[in-house]
Amino acid sequence: MDSRNGCQAFYRNVLGGTRAPNMVHDLTLWGAGTSRTMRAHWMLLELELQYEFQPIGSRTGETQTRDFRLLNPRHKIPVLRHRQFVLTESAAIIQYLSETFANPAQVYVPQDVGNRARLNEWCYFVISELDAGSLYIMRRHEGLKQTYGEAPTAVEAAKKYFIHNLEAMASRVGGNDEYLFGSRLSAADILLMTCLDWAGSAGIAFSDTFSSYQQRVGRRPAYRAALERNFAQPPIARS
């Protein structure tokens, strides 16, 4: 949103109305109960940021209200607001947070173009091949078949595609390093871990390499705190 859209009323009514004056960084996160919202909570908690939480859920009607559609015309969660800056897309949100509130002791943030490209490479791979290209296809055409149509062949193919792409990451995940980029968590780990959890809840079994990774990453206090916050209400769905 910017002034080109003539959004003064939006800033006044929607952003102004949600401002949290006691919060040091003036951050609000909309969204709870899904793997995508989990990512944003997790990164906020890794960086030890205080934020206002609007726990709206998917397919509850809460993403369809007039105010929310002004915030995100694509009516999806999560949405992050940092002062007057509004951002959607879980991967973009966690990368923005990790760079804006860099905490190098906790989270890996590349310092040069080459390393940033390498991090993007893995983030885009997980988001496009594991999330959108596999898990979300299964979700839409199995769990949400009433809305998107039943397509068992596509679901079966998406499961195989998920395993195939995951196994292509095995050498990176199963090496000596704790995380994808060495000894520190990165945005790519948050994306991968949330996809593994989502796949597990969809009944996909994966190799020991990924189970060990899941156990390792799952011991992080911020991950556990984010699970509690994001899934405080029984989730309707992981996606």
Ligand X SMILES: N[C@@H](CCC(=O)N[C@@H](CS)C(=O)NCC(=O)O)C(=O)O
Q: Which is nearer to ligand X, 26 or 89 (CB)?
A: 89
Specify the 3-state DSSP secondary structure of 224.
helix
What is the nearest approach in angstroms of ligand X to the Cβ of residue 238? Answer: 8
139 is a site residue for ligand X (CB under 6 A): no
Residues 33-52 that bind ligand X (CB under 6 A): 34, 36
What is the nearest approach in angstroms of ligand X to the Cβ of residue 230? Answer: 11
What is the nearest approach in angstroms of ligand X to the Cβ of residue 173? Answer: 21
Backbone angles phi, psi at 78, to 5 degrees: -85, 160
What is the nearest approach in angstroms of ligand X to the Cβ of residue 79? Answer: 9
Q: Which is nearer to ligand X, 76 or 81 (CB)?
A: 76
Residues 77-96 that bind ligand X (CB under 6 A): 77-78, 89-90
Query: How far, CA to CA in Å, does 153 sit from each of 61, 142, 147?
Result: 30, 10, 17
What is the nearest approach in angstroms of ligand X to the Cβ of residue 134? Answer: 14
Find the part of the chain contacting ligand X (CB under 6 A) among 56-64, 113-121, 159-167, 204-212. 56-64
What is the nearest approach in angstroms of ligand X to the Cβ of residue 9? Answer: 24
Q: Which of 76, 141, 220, 229 binds ligand X (CB under 6 A)?
A: 76
Which residues fall within 8 angstroms of residue 6, CB to CB, at 6 or more apart? Answer: none
Find the part of the chain contacting ligand X (CB under 6 A) among 6-14, 74-82, 174-182, 206-214. 74-82
What's the gap between Cα 31 and its chain centre? Answer: 10
**Which residue type sits at 172?**
R
Specify the 3-state DSSP secondary structure of 181.
strand
Other residues' Cβ atoms within 10 Å of the Cβ of residue 193: 26
**Which residue type sits at 73?**
P
Which residues fall within 8 angstroms of residue 157, CB to CB, at 6 or more apart? Answer: none
Consecutive H or E run containing 27: strand 27-30
Find the part of the chain contacting ligand X (CB under 6 A) among 9-17, 42-50, 58-66, 109-117. 58-66
* Cα–Cα distance measured from residue 140 to residue 191, given in angstroms and rounded to the nearest whole number: 19
Find the part of the chain contacting ligand X (CB under 6 A) among 70-78, 99-107, 162-170, 192-200. 70-78
What is the nearest approach in angstroms of ligand X to the Cβ of residue 22? Answer: 27
Query: How far, CA to CA in Å, does 181 sit from each of 80, 116, 173, 178?
Result: 25, 11, 9, 8
Please give the residue ranges that form the binding site for ligand X (CB under 6 A): 34, 36, 58-59, 63, 75-78, 89-90, 239
